[in-house]
Chain A
Amino acid sequence: MTTLIEAPPTDADGLLPSKKKSSGGGLGQYILIRFLLIFPTILILVTMVFFLMRITGDPITAALGGRLPPEQLAERITAAGYDRPILVQYFEYLGQLLTGNFGTTLSDNRQVTEMLTTYGSATLELTINALLVALLVGIPLGMIAAHRRDKAPDAVLRIFAILCYATPVFFSGLLFKLTFSVWLGWLPVAGRAKTSSELELTSLQAPTGIYWLDAVRSGNMAALGDVTAHAVLPALALGLLTAGIFLRLVRTNVIGTLGKDYVEAGRSRGVSEFRLVTKHAYKPALIPIITVMGLQIAVLLGGAVLTETTFEWKGLGFQLATYLTARDFVAVQGIVVLLAVIVAVTNFIVDIVAALIDPRVRY
Chain B
Amino acid sequence: MAMNKKALHSAIALAGVSAFALTACTGPSGGGGTSTGSAGGGTITYGTTDKVVTLDPAGSYDAGSFMVMNQIYPFLLNAKPGTADATPDIAESAEFTSPTEYTVKLKSDLKFANGHALTSSDVKFSIDRVVSIADDNGPASLLGNLESVTAKDDSTVVFKLKAGNDQVFPGVLAANAGPIVDEEVFPADKLMSDDEIVKGKPFAGPYTIESYKKNELVSLKVNPDYKGLLGKPANDGASIKYYADSNNLKLDVQQGNIDVAGRSLTATDAADLEKDSKVTVHKGPGGELRYIVFNFDTMPFGAKTAEADPAKALAVRQAMANVVDRDAIATQVYKGTYLPAYSVVPDGFVGAIQPLKEMYGDGSGKPSLDKAKKAFSDAGVTAPVNIKLQYNPDHYGKSSGDEYAMIKEQLEKSGLFKVDLQSTEWVTYSKDRTKDVYPVYQLGWFPDYSDADNYLTPFFVPGNFLKNHYENPTVTDLITKQLTTVDKAEREKVLGDAQTAVAKDLSTLPLLQGAQLMVAGKDVKGVEKTLDASFKTRLGVISK
B-contacting residues of A (Cβ < 8 Å)?
12, 63-64, 67-69, 72, 106-110, 118, 181-182, 185, 188-191, 194-200, 202-203, 216, 219-224, 226, 309, 312, 314, 318, 322, 325-328
Contacts and interface: CB of A to CB of B under 8 A. Distances in A.
A194 B388 contact: no
A220 B388 CA distance: 54
A191 B257 CA distance: 10
Given A63-B428, A194-B257, A312 B243 contact: yes
Interface stretch (B210-218, B284-292, B503-511): B210-218
Contacts of A216: 23
Most buried by B among A190, A309, A314: A190
A99 to B, nearest CB: 21
Q: Which 5 A-B pairs have the closest CB atoms?
A: A222-B32, A219-B26, A221-B27, A190-B248, A189-B251
Most buried by B among A64, A196, A203, A326: A196
A72 B252 contact: no
By size class, the interface of chain B is 35 or more
B473 interface: no
Given A189-B248, A197-B32, A222-B28, A67 B217 contact: no
A203 B245 CA distance: 26
B304 A69 contact: yes
Contacts of A12: 2
Contact of A199 (B219, B432, B435): B219
Contacts of A226: 32
A107 to B, nearest CB: 5
Contacts of A191: 241, 248, 252, 257
Interface in B402-460: 424-425, 427-428, 431-432, 435-438
Nearest to B429: A326
B51 to A, nearest CB: 9
Nearest to B420: A66
Contacts of B176: none
Contacts of A194: 32, 257
B34 interface: yes
A293 B34 CA distance: 39
A68 B304 CA distance: 12
A226 B33 CA distance: 11
Nearest to B240: A195
A190 B252 contact: yes
Contact of A195 (B210, B214, B239, B436): B239
Contact of A68 (B33, B245, B436): B436
Contact of B28 (A68, A106, A220): A220
24 contacts: A63-B428, A64-B437, A67-B437, A72-B436, A108-B427, A181-B251, A188-B252, A190-B248, A195-B257, A196-B33, A198-B217, A199-B211, A199-B217, A199-B239, A202-B211, A203-B211, A219-B24, A221-B23, A221-B27, A223-B32, A318-B244, A322-B244, A325-B424, A327-B424
Nearest to A194: B257
Given A67-B388, A199-B217, A221-B27, A107 B304 contact: no
Given A69-B298, A107-B425, A185-B255, A200 B32 contact: yes
B37 interface: no
B435 A188 contact: no
B209 to A, nearest CB: 12
B94 to A, nearest CB: 36
Nearest to A197: B32
Nearest to A177: B251
Nearest to B195: A114
Contact of B252 (A107, A110, A189): A189
Contacts of A326: 424-425, 427-428
A224 B244 CA distance: 25
Interface in B343-369: none
B534 interface: no
Nearest to B25: A219
Contact of A221 (B24, B213, B214, B248): B24
Contacts of A196: 31-34, 43
A328 B431 CA distance: 13
B52 to A, nearest CB: 10
Contacts of B424: 325-327
Contacts of B2: 12
A219 B27 contact: yes
